[in-house]
Structure 1
Amino acid sequence: MKLFKRALVLLLIIIGVLVYLNYTKLNIISGYAAKNMASSVFVAQRSAESITQYDNNVPLIKLAETEVDNKTKSASSSVYGFMERQSVYREGLGAVLINDDYDSSEFTLKPNRNRLSDTIPYPYGQLNPKDTIFPEIDMVQLNKAVTTAFSNADVQKTRTLLVLYKGHLVTEKYIDGFTKDTPILGWSMAKSVLATCYGVLEHQGKLGMDWPAPIAEWKEDERRNITLNHLLRMQSGLEWEEDYTKISDVTKMLFLDSDMTKAQKKKKAIAKPTEIWNYSSGTSNLLSGILRQQFRSHQEYLDFPYSAFIDKIGMYSMTLEADIAGNYIGSAYAWANTRDWARFGQLYLDKGLWNGEQLFNTAWVDYITEPTPHSDGTYGAHFWLNVNGRYPDAPKDLFSCNGHEGQYVFVIPSKDLVIVRTGLAQDPLFDVNTFLSEVVKSVQ
C-alpha cells in the first residue's frame, strides 16, 4: 500500500510538472482550435464535425475539445477543461479570439462591399467559364498532373486544385465537401494580398516604397532608417521569432494580442536594414497598421482593400479577418474560394490590368519579384520566388503566394499559367516540384 501511495504521489507530481511546463501552451492550443473552428464554420460555412475530424485533428490541437454556438456565432475550446478560449464571428470581419479587451458594442463597422453584375465569363467576370480547347495543351498530361496531386490522399491531403491558361479555366478539381464556392483559408497568402494594397496606393501616387516607416517610436533610434521597402522585403533588421512549435513572437501575437500591429513595432533592431532577411508575420501586421494610418477613418481603411482591387476583380468570396482592435490580420487570415484565389493570380499574371483598368503599375510585378538580398533568391516583396530553382523542374520566373499547410497560388508568366492548390499538407508531403513539373509539361 505504501508503495502504491508513493507511486500515486510521484504520478501526481509528474502530472503537475507537465501541466506547469505546458500551461501557457494550452492558451495557444485552445486558442487555435477555437479560432479555426469559428472561422471555418461561420466564414467557410463548413460543418463543425468536419473541422474536428480534419482541420483540428493535428498534434496538440486535437487535445482541445471545441463547441460551437450557432446562436451567438461563436466557438469555445479548452484542453481537459483548462484554459478555455472563445472566438466570436463578426459580420464582414470574420472570427476573432476574444479576451478582456473585447467589447462587442465596439464592432459596429464592417467593410462595404460592391458586387457588380456583368456578362463576362470567369475569371474576368461572374459567368460560367468558356469551354475552350487549346491545341498546345496536352490534356492527358494535365489530367495526369491533377491525378498525381490528389493521389495518396492521406499524405498529400490536397483539397482543391485549379489551373488557368491564358486567362481561361482549363481544369479544376475538388474533394468531397469542397466546391468552387467553398472559401479556403490562405494563411500566409494573406501577406501577398496585403502587399497589393501598397501596390495600389503607389499607383495612386499616395506613397512610395522608399518612404520611412511612419512609426513615431522609431524616430529617435536606429530604427528610423527602416523604409516600407525594407518591411515588405522582411529585411528591416528587427528582432522576431517565427516559430509555431512553441511560445514565440508569432504565436503570442496571433493567439494573445488584441492589437497585432504592435508586436513587431516594439522589437529592437538586431541589424541594420538590408543586412539580414528574417521572415516575420509581425512585420506584415505592422504593415497593416501602417496601411490604416493612410486613411482618415477606420471605415475608409476597412473599405480600401475591397474597393481598391478585391471587388473590382470579382473576388466576392474573400473575407479579410481583423483583430480585436479592428486591424486586418495581414499575416495570416484571408479567406477566398479557389476560383477567387486564381483571380488574384491572374491579376498578377496580367500585371495589374483588369478589364481595361490598371489597378497597380506594371512595374509593381517587377518590384515584388525582385529577389531580396540574403533570402537566397526565394523571396521578393511579400511574394515567394523560384529564381534560385527552389522548384528545380519549374520555370525560374515562377512566383507565388504561399500559405501554411500547402496553400499556393503559383504564377508562371513564361507559360501563361496560374495554378492554385489548397490542402492540409505542404512540401515535402505534398511534392510541389513534381506537381509543378507535371503541369508545365502539359503546355507544349
Structure 2
Amino acid sequence: MKLFKRILILLVAAVGVLVYLNYPKLNIIAGYAAKNMASGVFVAGRSEASLSQNDNNVPLVKLAETEIDTKQEIASASVYGLLERKALYREGLGTVLINDDYDETKDIPKPIRNQPLDTVPYPYGQAPPKDTVFSGVDMDQLNKAIGIAFANPETQKTRTVLILYKGHLLTERYIDGFTPNTPVLGWSMTKSVLATCFGILEHQKKLEMDWPAPIADWKDDERKNITLNHLLRMQSGLEWEEDYTKISDVTRMLFLESDMTQAQKKKPLVAQPTEIWNYSSGTTNLLSGILRQQFRSHQEYLNFPYAAFIDKIGMYSMVMEADLVGNYVGSSYSWASTRDWGRFGQLYLNRGNWNGEQLFDASWVDYISTPTENSNERYGAHFYLNAGGHYPDVPKDLFSCNGYQGQHIFIIPSKDLVIVRTGLAEEPDFDANAFLSAVVKSVP
C-alpha cells in the first residue's frame, strides 16, 4: 500500500510538473483552436465536425475541446478545461480572439463593399467561365498533373486546385466538402494581398518604397534608416522570432496581442538594414499599421483594400480579418474562394491591369519579383520566387504567394499560367515541384 501511495504521489507530481511547464502553451493552443474554429464556421461556412476532424486535428491543437455558440457567433476552446479562449465573429472583419479587456460596447466600423453583378465570364467577371479549347494544351498531361496533386491524400492533403491559362479556366478540382465558392484561409498569402495595397498607393503617387518608415518611436535611433522597401523585403534588421512550435514573437502576436501592429515596432535592431534577411509576420502587421496612417479615418483604411482592388477584380468572397482594435492582420488572416485566389494571381500575371484599368504599375511586378539580398533568391517583396531554382523543373520566372500548410498561388509569366493549390500539407509532404513541372509540360 505504501508503494502504491508513493507511485500515486509521483504520478500526481509528474502531471503537476507537466502542466506547470506547458501551462503558458495552453493559451496558444486554445487560442489557435478557437480562432480556427470560429473562422471556419462563421466565415467559411463549414461544419464544426469537419474542422475538428481536419483543420484542428494537428499536434497539440487536437488536444483542445471546442464549442460553438451559433447565436452569439462565438467559438470557445480549452485544453483539459484550462485557460478557455473565445473567438468572436464580427461581420466584415472576420473572427478575433477576445480577452478580459474586450469591450463589446465599442463600435468598430466594418469595410464598405461594392459588389455589382455582371455578365462577364470568370475570371474577369461573375458569370460562369467559358468553355475554351486550346489546341496546344495536352489535356491528358494536364489531368496527370492534377492527379499528382491529389495523390496520397493522407500525406499531400490537397483540397483544391485551379489552373488558369491565358486568362481562361483550364481546369479545377475539389475534394468533398469544398466547392469553387468555399472560402479558404490563405494564411501568409495574405502578406501578398497587404503588399499590393502599397503597390497601389505607389501607383497613385502617394508614397515611394525608399521612404523611411513613418514610425515616430524610431526617429531618434538607428531604426530611423529603415525604409518601406526594407520592410517589404523582410530585411529591416529588426529582431524577430518566427517559430510556431513554441511561445515566440509570432505566436504571442497572433494569439495574445490586441493590436498586432505594435509587436515588431517595439523590437531593436540586430543588424543594419539589408545585412540579413529574416522572415517576419510582425513586419507585415507593422506595415498594416503604416497603411492605416495613410488615411484620415479608420473607415477609409478598412475600405481601401476592397475599393482599390479586391472588389474591383471580383474577389467578392474575400474577407480580410482584423485584430481586436480593428487593424488588418496582414500577416496571416484572409479568406477567399479558390476561384477568387485565382483572380488575384491573374491580376499579377496581367501586371496590374484588370479589364483595361491599371490598378498598379506594371513595374510593381518587377519590383516584387526581384530577389532580395541574402534570401538565396527565394524571396522578393512579400512574394516568393523561383529565381534560384527552388523548384528545379519549373521556369525560374515563377513567383508565388505562399501560406502555411501549402496554400499557394503560383504565377508563371513565361507560360501564361496561374496555378492555385490549397491544402493541409506543404513541402516535403506535398511535392510542389512534381506537380508544377507536370502542369508546365501540358502547355506550349
* TM bracket (short chain): over 0.9
Runs of 4+ in 1 over 6 A off after TM superposition: none
State the distance in 2 between where 1:168 and 1:105 align: 47
State the distance in 1 between where 2:265 and 2:13 align: 41
Structure 1 residue 106: deviation in Å? 1.8
Is the 2:31–2:255 Cα contact (8 Å) retained in structure 1? Answer: yes
What's the TM-score, normalizing by structure 2?
1.00
2:360 maps to what in 1? 360
One-letter amino acid of the counterpart of residue 187, structure 1: W
Is the 2:108–2:326 Cα contact (8 Å) retained in structure 1? Answer: no
1:60 maps to what in 2? 60
1:284 maps to what in 2? 284
Structure 1 residue 107: deviation in Å? 3.3
Q: Deviations over 1:94-118 (max 9, x none)?
A: 0000002211222341000001222
Matched, 1:150 2:172: no
What's the TM-score, normalizing by structure 1?
1.00
One-letter amino acid of the counterpart of residue 2, structure 1: K
Q: How does 1:41-440 map to 2 (within 5 A)?
A: 41-440=41-440
Q: Deviations over 1:177-231 (max 9, x none)?
A: 0000100000000000000000000000000000100001101100000000000
State the distance in 1 between where 2:197 and 2:272 align: 26
State the distance in 1 between where 2:22 and 2:165 align: 49
Structure 1 residue 74: deviation in Å? 0.6
State the distance in 2 between where 1:306 and 1:78 align: 35
State the distance in 2 between where 1:46 and 1:119 align: 29
Unpaired segments ≥5 residues, structure 2: none
State the distance in 2 between where 1:236 and 1:109 align: 32
Is the 1:90–1:107 Cα contact (8 Å) retained in structure 2? Answer: no
Find the residue that maps to 2:440 and give its secondary structure.
helix
Q: Deviations over 1:68-90 (max 9, x none)?
A: 00000010000000010000000
Find the residue that maps to 1:104 and give its secondary structure.
coil
Structure 1 residue 406: deviation in Å? 0.4
State the distance in 2 between where 1:319 and 1:132 align: 30
Is the 1:394–1:440 Cα contact (8 Å) retained in structure 2? Answer: yes
Identical-pair percentage: 74
Moved more, 197-206 or 112-121: 112-121
State the distance in 1 between where 2:51 and 2:238 align: 36
One-letter amino acid of the counterpart of residue 130, structure 2: K
Is the 1:42–1:89 Cα contact (8 Å) retained in structure 2? Answer: yes
One-letter amino acid of the counterpart of residue 206, structure 1: K
One-letter amino acid of the counterpart of residue 326, structure 2: G
State the distance in 1 between where 2:391 and 2:200 align: 30
Find the residue that maps to 1:375 and give its secondary structure.
coil
Is the 1:34–1:87 Cα contact (8 Å) retained in structure 2? Answer: yes
Count of matched residue pairs: 444
State the distance in 2 between where 1:207 and 1:118 align: 33
Q: Deviations over 1:274-293 (max 9, x none)?
A: 00000000000000000000
Q: Deviations over 1:281-325 (max 9, x none)?
A: 000000000000000000000000000000000000000000001
Structure 1 residue 347: deviation in Å? 0.1
Unpaired segments ≥5 residues, structure 1: none
One-letter amino acid of the counterpart of residue 83, structure 2: M
State the distance in 1 between where 2:49 and 2:199 align: 40
State the distance in 2 between where 1:332 and 1:349 align: 23
2:33 maps to what in 1? 33
State the distance in 2 between where 1:355 and 1:311 align: 13
Find the residue that maps to 1:40 and give its secondary structure.
helix
Moved more, 95-104 or 370-379: 95-104
State the distance in 2 between where 1:100 and 1:60 align: 24
Q: Deviations over 1:39-78 (max 9, x none)?
A: 0000000000100011001100000000000000010000
Q: Deviations over 1:122-167 (max 9, x none)?
A: 0001111010000111000000100111111100000000000000
State the distance in 2 between where 1:282 and 1:304 align: 21
Find the residue that maps to 2:402 and give its secondary structure.
strand
Find the residue that maps to 1:55 and give its secondary structure.
coil
State the distance in 2 between where 1:163 and 1:116 align: 25
Find the residue that maps to 1:336 and give its secondary structure.
strand
One-letter amino acid of the counterpart of residue 196, structure 1: T
Find the residue that maps to 1:97 and give its secondary structure.
strand
Find the residue that maps to 1:217 and give its secondary structure.
helix
State the distance in 1 between where 2:149 and 2:38 align: 29
Find the residue that maps to 2:400 and give its secondary structure.
strand
Find the residue that maps to 1:335 and give its secondary structure.
strand
Q: Deviations over 1:308-362 (max 9, x none)?
A: 0000000000000000010000000010000000000000000000001000000
